[in-house]
Structure 1
Amino acid sequence: MKLLSLSSALLVLLAPTVSSAAPARSENSTYYNPVLPGWHSDPSCTQVDGTFFCVTSTFISFPGLPIYASKDLINWKLASHVWNRETQLPGVSWNTTGQQQGMYAATLRHRDGSFFVVCEYLVTDENIGVVFRSADPFRDEGWSDPVVFHADSIDPDLFWDDEGDGKTYVATQGIVLQEINLQTGELSQPPVSLWNGTGGVWPEGPHLYKKDGWYYLMIAEGGTELDHSITIARSRNLKGPYEAYEHNPILTNRGTDEYFQTVGHGDLFQDAAGNWWGMSLATRSGPDWEIYPMGREAVLFPVTWDEGSWPVLQPVRGEMSGWPMPPSNRDVPGDGPFNSDPDAYDFVAGTSIPRNLVHWRVPRAGAFTVTSSRGLQIVPSRNNLTGTPYSEATPELSGQQGLSFIGRRQTDTLFTFSVDLTFDPQEADQEAGVTVFLTQVNHIDLGVVLLPGRSNASCAARRKREIAETQELALRFRTEGTGTPPEPKIIAVPKDWLDGPIRLSIEAANATHYNLAAMPAANPDARILVGTASAGLVSGGNGSFVGSLVGAYATCNGAGAGVECPEGGNAYFTRWRYSGAGQYISETEVV
């Protein structure tokens, strides 16, 4: 395995840069993909006054549709979430059944001082088109309630035909075009068919560009797995006919042994110096397509687009060389974290929940609170992380009414994550812990759980003695996922751990496995490795569109009634730490 020093890598990256206002020089810059590591699929980007902005897909995670901002194309700061409050789409999240429904591929565009995000929310075979608008992308509150439209297909693009009829259009999967009224959401009928691609399945993800008198139509084909690709066509008229480029696809890694696979679904944009760039999704899986817990990530590639010619997209690799980049610059507005930075959250009084932490669907009101003295309180949900199939009699057990789970994207191949848990369960099966979470049927958990046994005393001291004597409080390791999950494992909590917080940790010490461990927070040397699980459990399966989150949860595992668990199961988390230790950029190279 070849180890690349991060400091030397950054020196290589930054040495050939020029001012963003200066003309491009011939020297190339070197950088490493993915530039937005972790689950960041279907990127759409634009540049405004020297700042780059991108949005990515989020499906049913909430808040959704993150906007990232960067001055240098490498350091990406979380600026806001477009979908950030229940009132924007009342009731829709809790009516979403599928693990990969929700906010599909969005398009981000800027016009006349406003940012627009157009997206479609897929729920139970229905598409809800939404257009959000903001004059300030660095504030969640700046994003409007959506203008709703009703389209038959996903992946909408937004295009203003300034050099043609002056109208505004939406292009969607298929590939079809409709005029849209951005005030009412009304679409022209019938849709106009533009182009069906080159024969690959699922022609989708369209983006329209007007350049040198041509309308260019760039799409994704081949599905979002190993046959994924980007193809392009052009026409002198917006509504066609479109001529396919004879050398399609213009970007793909299909049929290769490259580490980066599934390359496709991209967008093109310019920097302030006039150079063209592209962002697309890719998966660090290699052609074996077995281990890829971070799912579809966002990669950057240089684009050569001469006047009157077709764009030439540089193939996606882990190490890239391209146009001179803007100087390294982290002076980006807003209070969100940079995507590649570590987490160090103590949840002290007066602080809010960090911007990069998300839930699986809109959470129940009051389920997550930063307390005055005990850290982050999670009120348990009756459903556990898996839940049960939806039933009208017990919808709260399916997870549709909100999981008591909060997490952040796994953004590094190698990392450590830990939290300190204070937990004083009163009833059997009350549980709190940490998880690597892909979907409700793909996750790896380590929980502290009160197992059935003798009844507990009301006196805390006496209860602790009884637990110690009967070993009712236990560490439980269990998994759900693709392949062959390891057997569940239960270890009694040592008696001398009961007087303080328990630290739970997840470590990816290599590219293929996670280690889940526990220790008393006051004595980390007493660490117990409770379980090891393959990252294949959280690769693909029914989560092929998403990527792993690591975080914390609380549940009473079905006890109680309605949405309420029995009292006494609240969990308190402090000292939340996430730190990356290495990024694989090929099967043998780690930065």
Structure 2
Amino acid sequence: MKYANPVISGFHPDPSICRVDDDYYLVTSTFEYFPGVPVFHSKDLVNWRRIGHCLTRESQLPLHQAGSSAGIYAPTIRHHDGWFYMVTTNVSGVGNFYVRSRKAEGPWSELIGVAQGGIDPSLLFDDDGKVYFQSVQNGPQGEGIYQCVIRIETGEMLTESRLIWKGTGGNNPEAPHLYKIKNQYYLMIAEGGTELGHMETIARSENPFGPFEACPHNPILTHRSTDLPIQAAGHADLVETQDGSWWAVLLGIRPPTYPRRHHLGRETFLAPVTWTEDGWPIIGDNGRVLEQMDAPSLAPHPWPTPPVRDDFDAAELNDEWIFLRNPAPGSWSLEERPGALTLRGSEATLDEIASPAFVGRRLSHFDCRLAAQLDFEPGSAVEEAGITLFMNGKHHYDLAVTQREGRKVLMLRRTVGSLRTEQFFDCGVGPVELRVRAESHRFVFFFREANGSQIEAGWGETHFLSTEIAGGFTGVIAAMYAVSGRDAEQATSAFFDWFDYEPLNT
């Protein structure tokens, strides 16, 4: 039986995995989005479902000053002695920390800080009770992987940080994971940067502090200088299944255009791991990850397909929905109009480092249909509400209802760096349906008024919202938003009666 990569599509980078008996749990980075660090559950390594987030409270995840692609970097999840631990870095706040929980779905504890600097932290619980903490930093001994022993109850460093490996010479040695396998310590890292030169390398030692011997087969994973449809493969984590086989989760990109530009973000891929006779792992098909690969021997365990439409009739938002930084109090509600998501805008816009009224989800398919029904009667030209395809504050496409010269109009805005275009269309009183047809190379925007007539407003290229042009580490978010130009208490409410997300051509 075959499985298809990626196993988690859309903006889900830096995956880390652990196994508890017959269950697998995985986390990914979230950067400036809230809640932070989604937790996924699987029975077969191929089919995953989101079961919650590790960081659901502002006390755990302050993001008010987090710029685009700042915030939460590269989490690691581990399980030990009945506890789940998730360790990560808030580069816009407290630095390195971890939280813990008895259940992967949470709730998770308040932050436990670790004084060792750097990013991309990881943990190894050794057989003798010691807990080793790794991170990458440019420290007193140069750039590389540093390690200390910590007290897991408090995060206190019990030893000084020591450089344990600089890698094989590639730039940006990062994403360390230390494993104890057959009484040897294997240190696996990413090198080459999280772009087209990305690769995975490994070394081993009989001592957790080294010295480490580099694998003679390095890199054990890379797609550099290939024409494979999956690129930038790296930042991997290993897991052993209950049948004794080994697997890796890793990030990669799927650029739909040439030159290579990707807008869905870095996604989560799965690959088998084989071991050489001299005890070294090789990821995938001789260091390559393919779109179709042989599935694990675990019993297939698919989850129900999510519904296309969210009617916003539940008591809480489902786990697909995320906010841009910490949501401002009063900016959203499921209670003001039952059966609708209400957004109340403020002066905060999509262009700045702020917390606008914004509820979004990851764009996870090249081809899909997006739609929302909006009931909004703007009170002035500074008020607008609609849907956005958002990469960052300088790169986003918006289809919104606003006012011009005292008339309600529909606006298509395209913001690409310092360039901005706006087109306006007459829009009658009453609800309007906003639609987007996403294709691999372009987004096409439509709106439909209450009388049923559909109008194509225009389109924009996907590559203008790609990492290669917009910069950063995230992917496109499809969101509902509102702006009022005033305090939220004075804003006109925007009611979203439903939102559709329908994959096409899957």
TM-score normalised by the chain length of structure 2: 0.93
The structure 2 residue matched to 1:416, chosen from 346, 353, 369, is 369
Question: Are the structure 2 counterparts of residues 361 and 286 from structure 1 closer, same or farther at C-alpha, using a change threshold of 3 Å?
Answer: same
Q: Which amino acid aligns with 2:457?
A: V
Q: Distance in 1 between matches of 2:423 and 2:100?
A: 49
Q: 1:312 deviation in Å? A: 1.5
Instruction: Report the counterpart of residue 108 of structure 2 in structure 1.
Output: 143
Q: Distance in 1 between matches of 2:414 and 2:234?
A: 31
SS of residue in 2 equivalent to 1:230: strand
SS of residue in 2 equivalent to 1:537: helix
Instruction: Report the counterpart of residue 42 of structure 2 in structure 1.
Output: 70
Q: Does 1:547 align with 2:475?
A: yes
Question: Are the structure 2 counterparts of residues 50 and 443 from structure 1 closer, same or farther at C-alpha, using a change threshold of 3 Å?
Answer: same
Q: Does 1:575 align with 2:498?
A: yes
- Deviation readout 1:425-478 (Å, 9 max, x if unpaired): 112221000011111222111111112x25xxxxxxxxxxxxxxxxx2111111
SS of residue in 2 equivalent to 1:380: coil
Instruction: Report the counterpart of residue 431 of structure 2 in structure 1.
Output: 501
Q: Distance in 1 between matches of 2:410 and 2:149?
A: 57
Q: Distance in 1 between matches of 2:108 and 2:334?
A: 25
Q: Distance in 2 between matches of 1:357 and 1:473?
A: 29
SS of residue in 2 equivalent to 1:58: coil
Q: Does 1:367 align with 2:352?
A: no
Instruction: Report the counterpart of residue 224 of structure 1 in structure 2.
Output: 194
- Deviation readout 1:565-586 (Å, 9 max, x if unpaired): 573421000121101113xxxx
Instruction: Report the counterpart of residue 532 of structure 1 in structure 2.
Output: 459
Instruction: Report the counterpart of residue 519 of structure 1 in structure 2.
Output: 448
Q: Is the 8 A contact 1:290 1:539 kept in 2?
A: no
Q: Which amino acid aligns with 2:240?
A: Q
Instruction: Report the counterpart of residue 212 of structure 1 in structure 2.
Output: 182
The structure 1 residue matched to 2:397, chosen from 441, 444, 453, is 444
- Superposed structure 1 runs of 4+ greater than 6 Å apart: none
Q: Distance in 1 between matches of 2:339 and 2:281?
A: 56
Q: Is the 8 A contact 1:261 1:286 kept in 2?
A: no
Q: Is the 8 A contact 2:311 2:339 kept in 1?
A: no
Instruction: Report the counterpart of residue 382 of structure 1 in structure 2.
Output: 347
Q: Distance in 1 between matches of 2:125 and 2:315?
A: 42
SS of residue in 1 equivalent to 2:77: strand
Q: Which amino acid aligns with 2:129?
A: G
Q: Which amino acid aligns with 1:419?
A: A
The structure 2 residue matched to 1:183, chosen from 153, 163, 181, is 153
Q: Distance in 2 between matches of 1:442 and 1:342?
A: 29
Q: Is the 8 A contact 1:260 1:286 kept in 2?
A: no
Q: Distance in 2 between matches of 1:218 and 1:521?
A: 57
Q: Pairwise mapping of residues 48-197 of structure 1 onto structure 2 (< 5 A)?
A: 48-89=20-61, 92-96=62-66, 98-123=67-92, 128-139=95-106, 142-162=107-127, 165-173=128-136, 174-197=144-167
Q: Is the 8 A contact 2:68 2:472 kept in 1?
A: no
Q: Is the 8 A contact 1:343 1:579 kept in 2?
A: yes
Q: Which amino acid aligns with 1:32?
A: A
Instruction: Report the counterpart of residue 259 of structure 1 in structure 2.
Output: 229
Q: Does 1:491 align with 2:425?
A: yes
Q: Does 1:285 align with 2:214?
A: no
Q: Is the 8 A contact 1:147 1:182 kept in 2?
A: no
SS of residue in 2 equivalent to 1:104: strand
Instruction: Report the counterpart of residue 429 of structure 1 in structure 2.
Output: 382
Instruction: Report the counterpart of residue 139 of structure 2 in structure 1.
Output: none
TM-score normalised by the chain length of structure 1: 0.80
Question: Are the structure 2 counterparts of residues 254 and 44 from structure 1 closer, same or farther at C-alpha, using a change threshold of 3 Å?
Answer: same
Q: Which amino acid aligns with 1:294?
A: L
- Deviation readout 1:303-336 (Å, 9 max, x if unpaired): 11367610111144443323533222246xxxxx
Q: Distance in 1 between matches of 2:110 and 2:416?
A: 36
Q: Which has the higher contact order (CA 8 A, sep 6+)?
A: 1
* Structure with more of its chain in helix, by fraction: 1
Q: Which amino acid aligns with 1:449?
A: T
SS of residue in 1 equivalent to 2:123: strand
Q: Distance in 2 between matches of 1:287 and 1:302?
A: 28
Q: Which amino acid aligns with 2:78?
A: R
Q: 1:214 deviation in Å? A: 1.3
Q: Is the 8 A contact 2:11 2:475 kept in 1?
A: yes
Q: 1:151 deviation in Å? A: 2.6
- Deviation readout 1:345-385 (Å, 9 max, x if unpaired): 1112x531121100110101221111343611001021221
Q: 1:75 deviation in Å? A: 2.0
Q: Is the 8 A contact 1:441 1:542 kept in 2?
A: yes
Q: Pairwise mapping of residues 316-335 of structure 1 onto structure 2 (< 5 A)?
A: 316-322=288-294, 324-330=296-302
Q: Which amino acid aligns with 1:489?
A: Q
Q: Distance in 1 between matches of 2:302 and 2:450?
A: 34
Question: Are the structure 2 counterparts of residues 149 and 347 from structure 1 closer, same or farther at C-alpha, using a change threshold of 3 Å?
Answer: same
For these two proteins, the number of residue pairs brought into alignment is: 495
SS of residue in 2 equivalent to 1:341: coil
Q: Distance in 2 between matches of 1:84 and 1:122?
A: 17
Question: Are the structure 2 counterparts of residues 316 and 422 from structure 1 closer, same or farther at C-alpha, using a change threshold of 3 Å?
Answer: farther
Q: Is the 8 A contact 1:258 1:287 kept in 2?
A: no
Q: 1:543 deviation in Å? A: 4.0
Instruction: Report the counterpart of residue 469 of structure 1 in structure 2.
Output: none
Instruction: Report the counterpart of residue 141 of structure 2 in structure 1.
Output: none
Q: Distance in 2 between matches of 1:521 and 1:145?
A: 48
Q: 1:542 deviation in Å? A: 4.5
Q: Pairwise mapping of residues 554-569 of structure 1 onto structure 2 (< 5 A)?
A: 554-556=482-484, 559-560=485-486, 564-565=487-488, 567-569=490-492
SS of residue in 1 equivalent to 2:59: helix
- Deviation readout 1:491-525 (Å, 9 max, x if unpaired): 121xxx42x310001111x31100111102562xx
Q: Is the 8 A contact 2:73 2:90 kept in 1?
A: yes
Structure exhibiting the larger radius of gyration computed from Cα positions: 1
Q: Distance in 2 between matches of 1:543 and 1:370?
A: 34
* Structure with more of its chain in strand, by fraction: 2
Q: Distance in 1 between matches of 2:482 and 2:162?
A: 50
- Deviation readout 1:200-253 (Å, 9 max, x if unpaired): 111000001111221100000001101110000011111100011112110010
Q: Distance in 1 between matches of 2:157 and 2:101?
A: 22
Q: Which amino acid aligns with 1:273?
A: D
Q: Is the 8 A contact 2:96 2:117 kept in 1?
A: no
SS of residue in 2 equivalent to 1:94: coil
Q: Which amino acid aligns with 2:311?
A: D
Among the aligned pairs, what percent are the same residue? 35
Question: Are the structure 2 counterparts of residues 116 and 289 from structure 1 closer, same or farther at C-alpha, using a change threshold of 3 Å?
Answer: farther
Q: 1:138 deviation in Å? A: 2.4
Question: Are the structure 2 counterparts of residues 485 and 527 from structure 1 closer, same or farther at C-alpha, using a change threshold of 3 Å?
Answer: farther
Q: Is the 8 A contact 1:127 1:154 kept in 2?
A: no
